[in-house]
Amino acid sequence: MATRRQPVGNKRRIPRQARATETVAAILEAAAQVLEASGLGGFTTNAVAERAGVSVGTLYQYFGDKTAILLTLAQQELELALSDVGRALQAEAHPLVEGRVRAMVRAIVNAFRGRQRARKAVLQAILAQGRGLETMEPLAAFIAHASEQIGRGPKPVLTTLSPEQVFVLSRSMMGTIRAAVLEEQPFFRSRAFEDEIVRLVTAYLDAVTRSAVGREA
């Protein structure tokens, strides 16, 4: 592992021609395939390049770093998952908070369908890189927003959450799901598990609301 690095910044070249766009897509697809087939251990730059049908040099023209590939993969996945969750939340105009929370939880769990090994590997990698922050930020923002959505309804639940509350809400939920994925818990897709996560989130939201209302009165 060479230590030399550019002072700062990703010197990643931005594709301007169709050819380059396809190359980048091929690399990402190859990366996912390699991960699915051999896990993080077999995820070498040479292997990815070979599978993508390009040379290592080309790979490094678009990704300044091996982890940059993982990060990009993670962001892609997250974006997809978030839009799914968003759709689920809008579709599910369940009158009860619990119903909306459940829709959200289910959408997130569903986001881990297919290519499980690759997803697990990506999860591991970004955690190992300590890049959970940047990767999770959109999710945290989303949850902050969603929690307002969730709060509205027949019985309004809450208005705004403190940064700490958003953090606890997003990380506790994602941390639980993440752990279930990484540990390959058999009950991951079970109703019982879903129930408990829903309970966790609703109970917390409830408690926060009660405390806020109590302070107002």
Q: Does 60 bind a second copy (CB under 8 A)?
A: no
Work out how close the CB of 86 gets to a second copy at its nearest, in angstroms, rounded to a whole number.
22
Helix, coil or strand: residue 93:
coil
Q: Would you say 28 or 122 has its CB closer to a second copy? A: 122
Q: Could you tell me which of 37, 110, 63, 40 has the C-alpha nearest to residue 49? A: 63
The whole-angstrom separation of Cα 85 and Cα 104 is: 6
Interface residue with DNA among 4, 113, 191, 215 (CB under 7 A) is 4
Asked if 194 and 98 count as a contact pair (C-beta separation under 8 A), the reply is no
Choose from a second copy, DNA, none: what does 8 bind? Cβ within 5-8 Å by kind. Answer: none
Q: Which two tokens stand for residue 190?
A: 């079970």
Residue with tokens 């996945």: 77
Q: What is the CA radius of gyration of the chain?
A: 20
Q: Does 8 bind DNA (CB under 7 A)?
A: no
The whole-angstrom separation of Cα 147 and Cα 162 is: 12
The whole-angstrom separation of Cα 151 and Cα 145 is: 10
Interface residue with DNA among 32, 58, 147, 205 (CB under 7 A) is 58
One-letter amino acid at 40 equals L
Q: Would you say 21 or 160 has its CB closer to a second copy? A: 160
Q: Does 9 bind DNA (CB under 7 A)?
A: no
x/- contact string, 99-138, with a second copy (CB under 8 A)?
---------------------x---xx-xxxx-xx--x--
Residue with tokens 């599978």: 51
Would you tell me which residues interact with a second copy (CB under 8 A)? 40, 120, 124-125, 127-130, 132-133, 136, 162-165, 167-168, 171-176, 178-180, 182-183, 185, 187, 190, 192-193, 195-197, 199-200, 202-204, 206-208, 211
Would you tell me which residues interact with DNA (CB under 7 A)? 1-6, 13-20, 22-23, 43-46, 53-58, 60-61, 64-66
